[in-house]
Amino acid sequence: MTNLLVTTGSGEHHVNLCAGQSVREALDATDWRVRAACGGIGACGACAVIRLEGAANPFTLAEYQKLTGEQRAQGWRLACQLRPRGDCRIRLDHPAPPSPWRSIPAEDLLDPAAFLPALEGPIYGIAVDLGTTCIRVALWDRKRGRRIAARSGPNPQRAYGADVLNRLSRAVADPACARTMAELARDAVMQAVHDMLVRDVGEAHAMPAEIGQVMVVGNTAMLALLTGHGAATLLDPANWQHPVDCRPPDAAVWQALWPLPNAAVRVADAVAGFVGSDLVADLIATRLTESQAGALLLDVGTNTELALWDGRTLHVTSVPGGPAFEGGGIRHGMAAETGAIFRVRWEDGIVCEVIGGGPALGWCGSGLVDAIAVLLETGILQPSGRYAQSPGVAGYALLPDNPLTVLGGSDIDAFQRAKAATAAAMATLLDLAGMAWGDIRRVCVCGAFGRRLDIGHAQRVGLLPGLNPAGIELYAGAALAGCERALLTAHGEQLFAAETAKIRLVNLACVQGYEDRYIDHLRLAPMPLTSN
């Protein structure tokens, strides 16, 4: 990993750059994207930057074609062709207009290893992971099995509440509000598609007609809000152990709302209650049921879903952990985007690492886990969640000169509740399956933390069991990957049906002892592994 220093009109910014990665690829995941219209092959010439310092690859043929001799002498390069060989400094005079959409880093994407060589008609497809906080979208050439681009961005429904229950309640109370939320989600997906077509294909007018299928996965609430059907059913606790129909009441009318004239838009069915098709997509991507008995999966987020495989049955449940894992409900919380503290460690003092470099603007989920673990290890925070010495009304600032790094008592409490709900759910599933922690050979962690979670710190605070870290796998985009695999399979719905058939749904509200386990796990301490 090398450092790319980017000078823009707004200042200097530090960007991490992987070996062999182009400058454009690195910047596409930040707020300082270059202008582009050719997918990074150097054909448009719009991504010109000036290399100020640092070694790099020689000029490419595309650069000889798009840049004059004078420009090359002055240090101009095409960002899509420029691949630094060590630390590098560039100047970006004409960045792309601001956008909420970011390219998903290649290391956060999985290869679905599928394609449809016999496909006729529109060959392009869209995979969508519709999350409560974040939406992920990928554009595919289905015939050749080639991912053209992938984007992530905020779910604009957040304006109607950080958690799903608030959004559902508003949708049920006000049909106009329900229509607005559905439109917001649909428009967000199409904005992501437009961004990919413009920047990675170079054609945004004719291409929508070449898209033949859209596959959407998500938690049950997000699917209900997208289709306009199922919100009232989902709000009734009597239905939390039963399948909730989230299919649009009039499929033809709903389909016509999408500006994709030749695409079949399909929403993968939720399982039941608050267990959605995103969990099933996780199972497809991780191939959990192909494992030996003793495999556990967590999809961590505002609504956390869990699955335990005992070799024959998937014991599945969900807990309303709250938005703390995704930076919500925290005073200075934010998504895992530029400016978020994503890692904290102790090196003769507290050190905070920020996505994109620069000053810290708040906390994302992985940074919050790290911060609490470090505060515990240094004795600043007690296992009860209280500070050893009162930090005052404002809270404790991990970086004394930055008030946006403050963690107050309510922030710690929100995290404790979310992690206690998750830990208690894991212990309950083990008990119901007649298993113990010693039987668990594999743990897959999907969702909000992505690949940034520090496993040791997560074990220290009691969010993950204290098993061998070698058996704990982190996935940044498993739900999107499972959706992609279904998109690239002739009968994608059958993949979901096959996994769903193995599921035994558990409603924790009906399980005696769950509340006691929840209380037991509120302390910030490693999970007990000797009993359930």
Query: What average pLDDT does range 163-177 have in this prediction?
Result: 94
Query: What average pLDDT does range 371-396 have in this prediction?
Result: 95
Query: What average pLDDT does range 445-469 have in this prediction?
Result: 93
d(CA 211, CA 487): 12
This prediction has a pTM of: 0.91
pLDDT attached to residue 532: 46
**For residue 140, is pLDDT > 60?**
yes
**For residue 128, is pLDDT > 70?**
yes
Among 124-133, 217-226, 442-451, where is mean pLDDT lowest?
A: 442-451
Query: What average pLDDT does range 321-331 have in this prediction?
Result: 79
The answer to whether domain 2-93 has CATH 3.10.20.30 is yes
Rounded to the nearest angstrom, the gap between the alpha carbon of residue 36 and the centroid of all alpha carbons in its chain is 25
Query: What average pLDDT does range 485-496 have in this prediction?
Result: 94
Residue bearing the bigger pLDDT, 327 or 131:
131
Cα 93 to Cα 8, 51, 87, distances in angstroms: 6, 12, 20
Helix H, strand E, coil C: the string for 316-336 is EEEECCCHHHHCCCCCCECCC
Task: Report the range out of 109-113, 177-181, 450-454 with the highest average pLDDT.
Answer: 177-181
First to last CA, the chain: 42
pLDDT single digits (tens) 257-285: 999 999 999 999 999 999 999 999 999 99
301 band by pLDDT with thresholds 50, 70 and 90: confident
**For residue 334, is pLDDT > 80?**
yes
106-277: which CATH topology?
Nucleotidyltransferase; domain 5 (3.30.420)
**For residue 75, is pLDDT > 80?**
yes
Query: What average pLDDT does range 79-102 have in this prediction?
Result: 94
Query: What average pLDDT does range 315-339 have in this prediction?
Result: 84
Query: What average pLDDT does range 247-263 have in this prediction?
Result: 95
**For residue 327, is pLDDT > 90?**
no
| Cβ within 8 Å of residue 19, ≥6 positions away | 1, 2
Q: What residue spans define the domains of the chain? A: 2-93, 106-277, 332-407
**For residue 508, is pLDDT > 50?**
yes
Among 54-63, 154-163, 171-180, 380-389, where is mean pLDDT lowest?
A: 154-163
Mean pLDDT of the chain: 93
Cα 133 to Cα 109, 342, 419, 464, distances in angstroms: 19, 17, 18, 22
Q: Tell me if 236 sits within 8 A of 175, measured CB to CB.
A: no
Please determine whether the domains at 2-93 and 106-277 fall in the same fold group of CATH: no
d(CA 339, CA 4): 16
Neighbours of 21 (CB within 10 A): 18
d(CA 304, CA 86): 40
pLDDT single digits (tens) 343-373: 999 998 999 999 877 789 999 999 999 999 9
531 band by pLDDT with thresholds 50, 70 and 90: low
d(CA 2, CA 82): 14
Query: What average pLDDT does range 106-123 have in this prediction?
Result: 93
247 band by pLDDT with thresholds 50, 70 and 90: very high
Q: Tell me if 223 sits within 8 A of 130, measured CB to CB.
A: yes
d(CA 274, CA 319): 8
pLDDT attached to residue 451: 85
